[in-house]
Structure 1
Amino acid sequence: MRWGKDVHLDGHPLMDRLARLLPAPAADLMEIATAVYAADRLAARDHGDAYQLGWSRRLRLHVPVRQPDRWERLRESLAELLSWLTDDEWDLHFHSSGQACSPLGNAQGYLFPAVPPQAHVALFSGGLDSAAGLAIDLATRPTVDVIAVRVVTNGRMAHGQETVLGYFGERVHDCPFQVHLASGRSRESSQRTRGFLFLSAGVATALTARKSVLRVYENGIGAVNLPLVESQRGSQAPHAVHPRTLVMMEKLATSLNGGSCFRIELPHLWSTKAELLRQAPQTMVGAYTSSMSCDHAFASRIQGALQCGTCTSCILRRQSVLASGLSQLDARRTYRRDLSSMPRRYTLDASLWQAHRISRALSSTDPWSAFVQEFPQVLDVPGVESESGRSAILRLYGQYCAEWRSLTARLGVDMSKWGLEGAAAA
């Protein structure tokens, strides 16, 4: 891959605000993440494989870096993180390269006012969770500014994110990274390294700003992201901001921070999306209604593209808005399809089946054992070995099932019997 030819990385907005030249660990991390993301997009999986044997790939990547010895020491832990995110086998090699041939190697002059030293760093995606989480932080920390780190992969995404950020005023400092593949080069749409790219942007920004904390705004259901159906294996249920992902990324960032502890905070891990919305200040409704939660709207690259209304992210957004009692958050938003009138679709059926399975497990005589048996992936969440961790997980998913009843009642579905009526009749 050739910088500027096959893949383009622009970090000027960060360098304009925070540093004339990025620290070597930060610049290396961001360039490695971009190279990994590009390789992920260029190497197609075998999606036509009925037995899913072609989902995993073997990927060899050679990356020029400023500090090859450092990255050779981190090679195994980085490969483990990427394997967890993608289910692929990563063979990573690092070699020395001068700064002049790297996209983040040229010193910049300051073009914008300096960011206040007390500002903290947070990821911003342009979705509903990031808008609500940012609003909560600004309201509960009135003396602290926020450096909003975002990754932009197309113009539609940039416009959507900028529209939402426009509601927050001068306390939010926009630091985007632009990452683009050459037109027509992408062969794979699953993009399981996208989370690593976003987290790397956040860590690189924090290291540049000499901060040791990164905030990630995601609700607990979305972060843990249990599989919708039993046929989903490994990263087929994405792990972008899974608590285990964040722990692994913390260890990598701590190594890059000279051994000083680096933390990635997920403040809303134990809240559902509806609970997150109820905490958010209602003075920022414009930001929430302008946010984009759809899996497809940004990817469409069409200015003004509507949310589809039927992907898993749209379904969770609509369920949470209804359950929160804040229907006005979507009052001015139009979806391409309405859930109550559309024909049955896989995503809705799978979401209903998952909610039924969770509810059935939690209503058993031994909820934790039943839940683990139904969703063994929950054991990947750090902390569940403790009684308090197990209680927190059970409460989170119990609340989630209760919120689903708001939507299923509107759809005329009995969640306790979902998927079983036909079997009983047979």
Structure 2
Amino acid sequence: MPKRCEDDESAIRVAVVESDVRSRPGWIKCRIDENLRFSAEPLASYFFAKWEPLVFDALLLAAAVEFCDRIKRRPSFQWSREIELRIPVHAPAVWKQRDVTESLHDALEFLTGDRWRVEFTERKNAITPPRQGLFNLPPAESLAIIPFSEGLDSRAVAGFMSRKFGDRLIRVRLGTKSDDRPSDSSGRRSPFAGVPYNVRRGEHRFVESSARSRGFKFALLSGLAAYMAKADRVFVPESGQGALGPSLVPVGQAYEDYRNHPAFTAKMSVFLKSLLGHDVRFEFPRLWFTKGETLLEYVSGSAQAADWKETRSCWQDNRYASVNEHRRQCGICAACMLRRLSVHAAGLSEAPETYIWEDLRAGSFEDGAAVGFKKIAAQRNYAIAGALHLDHLAGLRRSRIHAPALESNTRHLARSLQLPEQEVRTGIERMLTQHEKEWKDFMEFLGPDSFVSRWTERAYDHVA
């Protein structure tokens, strides 16, 4: 890595420190137990079998990476930042192995588009192991892991795959709602019951919202769960539009989004093998399907599947997604637009009050919002970007201009999945064809006078 300038606006230097340890001048201090706080019960749920300091250090790494990603805004005229992170671990010799550091940097840089240098030092004080208890874990034969959050794909895929795998499918809790935690009629606690740490800004401000490191957090926590449970498979529940769409149709000049992409999880498999000596395979059972198809399969198989309405797709926080102090989903960001498209494609409906933008059929952007919402102008660019992303993805298959990039993505994806290129090409074609059909149907439902239709009405004229 080239030497960085002291006044480089893209440079970030973060030192994770124990509470009684001082950091170097010029480095941002990230204190354990202050900025990175571990919760006793969720932490214990990761160590149901035995205490492994190496696994704790990996959890600390996930938390520290999130802190670094959020603490400094990306420069105005470039995407990439220079990030230097120092972190204390129990066994630095393990972390300093060449294959471990190289695979870690490879995964982080591919995911975030930043340049990373992570250095490991020896801890001054060993962590006290959490108390271990009785957790509900079936025998290890043929176990599989699935990340589980409050998202729609997560709820649906975990639901219909549990019909196939039963209690051999272990859910790793990655969301924030306590009522999303899987219940157990036996009364025993479940492993991996929650994210075992909180990342807090402390005296600093979290100013960067691109959140690319979220993919590292999800993949690492899922991989660690597979290691602790002696499982070798992690099912990624994301459907094709969410897994592949953000890299096929990037937003503006932003770096491609690989948070749920097989190319990134393949790199995480290499890192986990280097660190833990354990093979973890990330599988995408819904990669060639749309979210609408995934939702339809879920609701078709169970009378209890109406709980999909309790899920949340919007990533906006309460400051921007509340009406009269009641939290809603915004309804117009890319994630919300995909959700609404998918609900329509599955032949379902939601109450208008689910979203701030209650009416997408309104003639103007302003008229579509709920009465009482005051931050309409601030959301306009998000709304346009969300609609155009789905519209561009719908036109991608037939665009000669984008054909070379699509073919390049196909080859890259084939290598990551270790599948024949023709099989991958067929899968992408199938997903894009279905997405195009669903999007056309949705636009017809919204009608030509909808503000969404007016934003996208010329999209198909742009196909070369």
Answer yes or no: same fold by TM over 0.5.
Answer: yes
1:313-352 counterparts in 2 under 5 A? 313-327=335-349, 330-331=350-351, 334-338=354-358, 339-341=360-362, 342-343=364-365, 345-352=380-387
* Corresponding residue of 1:210: 230
* Corresponding residue of 1:36: 65
* Corresponding residue of 2:331: 309
TM-superposition CA deviations, 1:127-148 (whole Å, max 9, x none): 0000001101111223x24432
* Corresponding residue of 1:226: 247
- My pick for the range that moved more, 18-27 or 410-419, is 410-419
* Corresponding residue of 1:388: 423
Question: What is the CA distance between 1:350 and its match in structure 2?
Answer: 3.7
* Distance of aligned partners of 1:417 and 1:300 in 2 relative to their CA distance in 1, 3 Å threshold: closer
State percent identity of aligned pairs: 26
Tell me, yes or no, if structure 1 residue 79 matches structure 2 residue 79.
no
Q: RMSD between aligned alpha carbons?
A: 3.3
State whether residues 43 and 130 of structure 2, in contact with CA within 8 Å, keep that contact through their aligned partners in structure 1.
no
Partner-residue secondary structure (3-state), 1:252: helix
Tell me, yes or no, if structure 1 residue 125 matches structure 2 residue 149.
yes
* Distance of aligned partners of 1:169 and 1:250 in 2 relative to their CA distance in 1, 3 Å threshold: farther
Letter paired with 2:101: R
Question: What is the CA distance between 1:89 and its match in structure 2?
Answer: 0.8
Which residue, 158, 167, 175 being the options, matches 1:134?
158
Letter paired with 2:157: G
Structure 2 gaps of 5+ residues are 1-29, 367-379
Question: What is the CA distance between 1:311 and its match in structure 2?
Answer: 0.8
Which residue, 164, 167, 177 being the options, matches 2:180?
164
* Corresponding residue of 1:420: 458
State whether residues 64 and 95 of structure 1, in contact with CA within 8 Å, keep that contact through their aligned partners in structure 2.
yes
- My pick for the range that moved more, 180-189 or 30-39, is 180-189
Tell me, yes or no, if structure 1 residue 285 matches structure 2 residue 320.
no
Which residue, 235, 245, 264 being the options, matches 1:245?
264
* Corresponding residue of 1:155: none
TM-superposition CA deviations, 1:209-237 (whole Å, max 9, x none): 222222221111101123546623324xx
Letter paired with 1:85: L
TM-superposition CA deviations, 1:375-421 (whole Å, max 9, x none): 86555423487111111111111111111012111222498994538
TM-superposition CA deviations, 1:111-168 (whole Å, max 9, x none): x4442224532211210000001101111223x244322345xxxxx33xx3334678
TM-superposition CA deviations, 1:47-98 (whole Å, max 9, x none): xx2xx32x21111111112232222221122112111111111111112225
* Distance of aligned partners of 1:99 and 1:194 in 2 relative to their CA distance in 1, 3 Å threshold: farther
1:343-382 counterparts in 2 under 5 A? 343=365, 345-363=380-398, 370-373=402-405, 380-382=412-414
TM-superposition CA deviations, 1:216-271 (whole Å, max 9, x none): 21111101123546623324xx321111111011111122332x422112211111
State whether residues 22 and 208 of structure 1, in contact with CA within 8 Å, keep that contact through their aligned partners in structure 2.
no
Query: How many aligned residue pairs are there?
Result: 399
Partner Cα separation in structure 2 for residue 421 and residue 234 of structure 1: 23
* Corresponding residue of 2:288: 270
Letter paired with 1:256: L
TM-superposition CA deviations, 1:305-364 (whole Å, max 9, x none): 11111111110000011011122xx34862111322251844454455445544545346
Question: What is the CA distance between 1:31 and its match in structure 2?
Answer: 1.1
Normalised by the length of structure 2, the TM-score is 0.76
* Distance of aligned partners of 1:422 and 1:37 in 2 relative to their CA distance in 1, 3 Å threshold: closer
1:181-200 counterparts in 2 under 5 A? 181-183=200-202, 185=204, 186-200=206-220
Normalised by the length of structure 1, the TM-score is 0.82
Which residue, 269, 273, 276 being the options, matches 1:257?
276
Higher relative CO (Cα under 8 Å, sequence separation at least 6) belongs to: 1
* Distance of aligned partners of 1:417 and 1:13 in 2 relative to their CA distance in 1, 3 Å threshold: closer
Structure 1 gaps of 5+ residues are 153-157
* Distance of aligned partners of 1:271 and 1:234 in 2 relative to their CA distance in 1, 3 Å threshold: same
* Distance of aligned partners of 1:43 and 1:421 in 2 relative to their CA distance in 1, 3 Å threshold: closer
